Amino acid sequence: MKLSVIIVNYNVKHFLEQAVQSALKALEQITAEIIVVDNNSVDGSIELIKHKFPGVITIANKTNVGFSKANNQGLAIAKGEYVLLLNPDTVVQEDTFIKCIGFMDSHPEAGGLGVKMIDGKGNFLPESKRAFPSPAVAFYKAFGLASLFPKSKTFGKYHLGYLDEDETHEVDVLAGAFMMIRKNVLDKTGFLDEDFFMYGEDIDLSYRIVKAGYKNYYFSETTIIHYKGESTKKGSLNYVKMFYQAMKIFAHKHFSGSREGLFIFLINIAINARAFLSVISRSLRKIAFPLLDTIIIFTGLLFIKYYWEYYVKYIEGGEYPPTYLYINVPLYILIWISSIYFSGGYDKNANIPRIIRGIFWGTIIIAAVYGFLPEQYRFSRGMIIAGAAYITFACIAARLLIHFFKHRNFRFGEEPDKKIIIVGNHDEAERAHQLLNQLQLGQQIIGYVQTASEETYREIDLGKIDDLHQIAELYKAGEVIFCGKDISSSDIIHWIIRLGSHIDYKIIPDQSLSIIGSNSKNTAGDLYTVDIQLKISYPQQRRSKRLFDIFFSFFCLLTLPVTILIVKNKGGYVKNIFAVLMNQKSWVGYAAPTGQEIRNKAQLPFIKKGALNPLDIIAENRFNEQTLNRVNFIYARDYRVTTDFEIVLKAFKKLGNH
C-alpha cells in the first residue's frame, strides 16, 4: 500500500465530510486507505462516516485523547509506505497526493513534506513553511518583529517569509494540517509525542525527522484549502495558553542549560503579553458602545439640567442640588444602558429598533422607579422625557456616523446583501438554491454560472465558468458557492485564488446538506446547514437565561422562609442564590461527571456552572460520559428559557447542589 491518510476529528462533522470526499477523489489512482480517528464527538461525525463512507477505517474514542494520541492510534494501524496526517478542515486537489508522492519518491533524502496552504478566502497561510523556534526566533515572534518585518532573513525567520511561496524549499517545520512522512522514518523517530495535547507536536516531530538525518520540504506545486479555526479560535486566551505551553514542552525536551532557560523566559513574557493584550482588546470591544452611550447620556442629561434650571424651573436664578448628578443621573444611566443591553442593542449587527426599544423600556422603568424615590430625589419628570428623546436621537446618530465612516453607507444594523452566485450545473445549483431558501437566503442569489458547456441557458443563468471573473465583477458578487459535484477541487482553488479575498467562498459537497466555507483564517468556519443550530449561543437566549437566573434568585430570596424547608441542602441553597446573583453560577448548567469538567465544553457554547443540570429531573442519573455529552448537546441545541424553568420546578429539592 502506497499511502495511509489519517484524519483526527473533533465535532466538525460537515468539514470532515468534505475533507474525506476530496481525499477519496485524490486517491482514485493510488493504493491507499483513509483512517478517521474521532475524539468523542457529539455531532454524529462517526455515524456519518460509517454511513456515507463505509470503506473508511474508523476509530471511535470514548474521550477526547488529544491530537497527538489520536494520530498515534491511526499510525499504529497504518499500512502505507507513506502516511499523511491531514486536518478535517481541509480540501485537497485531485492530484495533490500523486504530486506529493512523486516528489518523495524522487527525493529519498526527504523525510517529510508539507504543501502550500490557503485559507477559505484564498489567502496564503504563512505557517505552510516555518523554521524551528530557537530563542532568537521565539523572541522576534513574541515581540512582534516577525510581523513588522516578515520578509527579513533575521526577523521573519519563524514563517520563512523571505522564501518564495511559489517555489519548493527545504524547511525546518511541517504544518500539522498536512504532514506527509515516510513510514520507515517514523519507525526511527517514533510517533507524535503525546505530551503535546494540541499544538507543538508538528514542530517536535519535524525536529526529530531532521535530527534523524532526513530533510523536510515545503512543496509548492500543489495547493490545499485549510479553513482553520474549527477546533479552537486563535485569538482566544485558551489558544495562547495551549500554544505557548507546547513551546515550553519543546524547549524542555530539546534545549538544555541557559538556552532552555532563555527560551522559557521569552515564552513566559509572550504568554503574559498576549494574554494581557487579548483581555484588553476583548474588553474594549465589549464596552465600546456602552461606554459611548454612557458619555452621550451623561453629557445630554447635564445639558438638559442646565437648560431646565435656567429656562424652565429657575428662570430668576437657582439650581438643582448636587444629588441629582451624583445619584439620579448614574441611576438613570444604569437603567438605560441595561435596558438597551437586554433589548439586544449591543449585539453584533444590532439595529435601530432594538436601540429604540431599549431606551423606551428604560424610560418606563425610570418613570416607575421615580415614583418610589424619596421626595428629595424626585426632580422634574420633564427632564426624564427630554433625556429619553435626546439619547434616542444621539445614540442612533452616533452609530450611524460610526457605521458611515467604516462602511461608507448608512445601512446600520442591516445584514449586507451578499449577492450570491452559484457555480454548478442546473441540478446541483437548484439543490443549493433550495437549501438556501430553507435558510431564508434564497433572495440573495443573483444567478447560476454553468460548468457544462452543453447545457442550454435559462433565465437565471449568468454565463459559463470561463467568464466567472467578469461575471463576479459585473454583478459585484459578495459570495460564490461552488457545487463540489460539478467542479473539481483543483478548479475551485484556482478560482478562489483568481477572484480574490474580497469575496466569500463556500462549497456544497456532493449529496451533502451543508454549504461549507470560512471567511477568516482566525475564526470558526461558516456553515449553511439545515440540521444543527445551537440556540443557547444566540445572544437573545443568553440574555433570557441571565434574566431568568436573576428573577428566580430574587424569588428564592423573597420566599426563603418557605422554600428553604423544601430544599435538601439548605446551606448550599443559600450559597447558590447569591452565587447566581453575582453571576458566578447559573441555576441550570451542563451535566458533568462528579468532580470533572465536561470534556466537550470547547465545542459547546460556554455557560456558567449550574446548580442543576438537565439530568436532575431524573431520580437516578448515573450515565456514562458519552450520554452526558449528548444530553448537553441537545440542551444547547434546543434551549429556551422555559427549559430552565421546567428543570428548576421538577428538581426544586436539589437547588442546594454544588
Residue 353 grid coordinates? 429598533
d(CA 129, CA 25): 26
Q: To the nearest 10°, the Cα dihedral for 529, 533, 538, 544?
A: 150
Helix or strand (DSSP H, E) at 32 = strand 32-39
Beta strands in 520-647 (DSSP E): 526-529, 586-588, 610-612
Give the single-character DSSP code of 643. Answer: H
Angle between helices 352-372 and 381-407 (to 10 degrees): 160
pLDDT confidence of residue 495 = 96
**Strands, DSSP E only, in 127-286?**
169-171, 178-182, 215-226
Q: Which residue has the cell 473539481?
A: 488
C-alpha cell at 58: 474508523
Q: What is the DSSP letter of 8?
A: E
Query: Could you tell me the three cell numbers for 589?
Result: 448548567
| Chain center to CA of 529 | 16
The pLDDT, as a whole number, for residue 11 is: 86
In this prediction, residue 490 carries a pLDDT of 95
- pLDDT for 630: 76
Half-sphere exposure of residue 473: CA atoms within 13 angstroms, side-chain side: 7
- HSE-CB at 504 with a 13 A cutoff on CA atoms is 18
Q: Which of 364, 379, 378 is nearest to 305 (CA)?
A: 379
Domains and CATH numbers, the chain: 3-129+165-231 (3.90.550.10), 232-415 (no CATH), 420-516 (3.40.50.720), 535-654 (no CATH)
How far CA 308 is from CA of 90, 438, 636, in Å, comes to 65, 55, 51
Which residue bears the cell 478566502?
A: 121
Mean pLDDT, the chain cut into blocks of 10 residues (658 residues total): 96 92 96 96 89 95 91 96 96 97 97 95 92 76 77 85 94 93 95 76 89 96 82 52 67 67 71 72 85 95 90 79 92 95 85 92 92 85 92 93 82 73 93 84 86 76 92 92 95 95 91 79 55 72 90 92 91 94 93 51 74 82 69 85 91 89
Contacts of residue 80, defined as CB under 8 A and 6 or more positions apart, other chains included, come to: 1, 2, 3, 4, 32, 33, 183
Q: What is the pTM of this model?
A: 0.72
d(CA 558, CA 394): 39
What residues contact residue 42 under an 8 Å CB cut-off, 6+ apart? 11, 600, 603, 626, 629, 630, 632, 633
Q: In this structure, what C-alpha cell is assigned to residue 345?
A: 442593542
Nearest to 460 by CA among 476, 473, 448, 472: 448
Q: CA-to-CA distance for 177 and 195, rounded, in angstroms? A: 19
DSSP 99-121: HHHHHHHH-TTEEEEEEEEE-TT
Write phi, then psi, for 490 (nearest 5 degrees): -60, -45
Quick one: three-class SS letters along 280-339? HHHHHHHHHHHHHHHHHHHHHHHHHHHHHHHHHHCCCCCCCCCHHHHHHHHHHHHHHHHH
Rounded to whole angstroms, the Cα distance separating 658 from 641 reads 22
| pLDDT value at residue 141 | 72
Please report, to the nearest 10 degrees, the dihedral formed by the alpha carbons of residues 56, 61, 64, 70 taken in order.
-50
- Contact between 3 and 81 (Cβ < 8 Å): yes
Cα distance between residue 104 and residue 490, in whole Å? 21
